[in-house]
Each structure stands twice: as C-alpha cells, then as structure tokens.
C-alpha cells in the first residue's frame, strides 16, 4: 500500500496552526503580549524566508507548554480548535484525503508544528498517523519546554519519515506528498508524486520548473491522478 503524505499548515488547513497558537496564547495572558507577538511574527517571517533556526524557535514556542498544567493546556487547546482552527477547514482537503483512501493509499501527516497543537487537527481528518515535532515531557507527563528527538522540519522530515518507514516495513514507492512550503523540498524530492499546494513563490517556481502539479485546495482543486 503506497502512502499519501500531507503537510498540515497552509496545506490541509488554510492557515498556520503554529503561528496562530502563538497569537492565541496572547489573548488569555499566558504569554507577554507585545514580546510574544513580535517574536512570533519574526519566527514566522524567517520560516517563510527559509532562514528559521528551528531550535531557537522551539525554545520559544514550547516554553509556554511548560508554564501551565496539562489540564489547563487541554482546555485552552479545545478553545483554540473552536475559535481559530474551525474557520480553516478546507472541504477540498477532506475530499483529497478520502480520494487517496479510496485508491487504496495510506494517509499520513508530517508537520513541523508540535504534536500538542496538531494532534486534534489531524484527528479531524480521520488520519491516524502523525509525524510531528515532539515536545519533551517529564516523569509526570508535564511538558518540559524542550524538544524530544529530531525536529520534524526540512531535512528532519526526511529523517523522521525514513525512521517510520523502517519501523513499519514500508517504502516510498508510488508515494504522494502535498505541501505549500519550499522548506519541504527535501521530502518533495524523495517521493514519487510531489504536489505543490497553494505554494509559496519559491516552491511554485521550483514545482513549475520540474513539472510538478500545482493545485489550490483553497479554490477546491485536486489532482485528477490522486483518485487513480
């Protein structure tokens, strides 16, 4: 069974959950508003430019998880899903995932955003396997503010996916990968069927030069071949 691999932010949803979670934390006063807004925007701009220091960003983005008990974080996440994520659902993305299932492919999401933020979003799409950046936890199950293992970003996505493939006895033959970001070029270049989805300018230019499909799930487009 071949894989249908999906990036999450700005691919399956019409926004960036990592960036939006940071902005959301300002509202209830979990983080310092002016500082956090400024740094959150800086890191997001660096991500889009391809210059992000992922470890510096993770020290910033995972720190709030260590400041609150898990129960409070879960309540905030439920509110975040209702207020910030719900408007980002893309019907075409749901149809695309289902078309791959009908074609006998196994859906999987791979994202740089941490598991705490992304797990309920991916669950809404009925996708069971999520490869995400993993926040470290202590012996009591509380977040430490550190990252566990390899961040799921740029070449790290390839590293994490190859490890999962080996553990599960799978390969990349006949695989698809959908992404919006040039940061995902290392993985896009590994799969059988790379697809640029509502891409940033650099990815769009690379995709068109290489003859990869360029689609817009925001406009309801899906590649015809995905159902075949």
| Catalytic residue IDs | 7, 9
Per the structure block, which two tokens stand in for 156? 């790290």
How many Cβ atoms from other residues are within 10 Å of residue 140's Cβ? Answer: 7
Residues 6+ apart with CB under 8 A from 105: 1, 2, 3, 4, 174, 176
Burial of 181 (0-12, 13-18, 19+ CB in 10 A): buried
> Token pair 């990349």 is at which residue?
172
Closest to 61 (Cα-Cα) out of 24, 90, 93: 24
Output the CA torsion 79→41→159→137 (10° steps).
-50
- Residue that has been written with the tokens 């879960």 in this structure: 74
- Rounded to whole angstroms, how far apart are CA atoms 167 and 7? 21
Look up residue 180 and give its two tokens.
Answer: 């919006």
Residue 121: count other Cβ atoms within 10 Å of its Cβ. Answer: 24
* Encoded tokens for 181: 């970001």
What distance lies between CA 70 and its chain's CA centroid? 22
């Amino acid at each position: 069974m071949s894989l249908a691999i999906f990036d999450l932010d700005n691919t399956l949803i019409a926004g960036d959950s990592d960036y939006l979670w940071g902005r959301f934390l300002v509202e209830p006063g979990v983080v310092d508003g002016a500082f956090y807004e400024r740094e959150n925007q800086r890191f997001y701009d660096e991500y889009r430019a391809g210059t992000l220091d992922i470890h510096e960003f993770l020290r910033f983005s995972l720190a709030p998880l260590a400041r609150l008990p898990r129960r409070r974080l879960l309540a905030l996440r439920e509110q975040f899903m209702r207020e910030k994520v719900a408007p980002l659902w893309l019907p075409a993305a749901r149809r695309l995932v289902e078309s791959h299932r009908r074609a006998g492919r196994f859906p999987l999401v791979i994202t740089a955003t941490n598991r705490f933020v992304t797990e309920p979003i991916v669950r809404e799409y009925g996708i069971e396997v999520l490869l995400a950046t993993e926040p470290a936890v202590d012996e009591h199950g509380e977040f430490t503010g550190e990252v566990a293992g390899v961040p799921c970003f740029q070449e790290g996505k390839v590293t994490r996916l190859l490890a999962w493939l080996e553990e599960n006895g799978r390969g990349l033959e006949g695989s698809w990968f959908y992404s919006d970001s040039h940061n995902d070029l290392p993985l896009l270049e590994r799969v059988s069927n790379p697809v640029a989805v509502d891409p940033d300018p650099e990815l769009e230019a690379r995709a068109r030069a290489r003859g990869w499909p360029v689609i817009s799930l925001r406009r309801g487009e899906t590649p015809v071949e995905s159902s075949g």
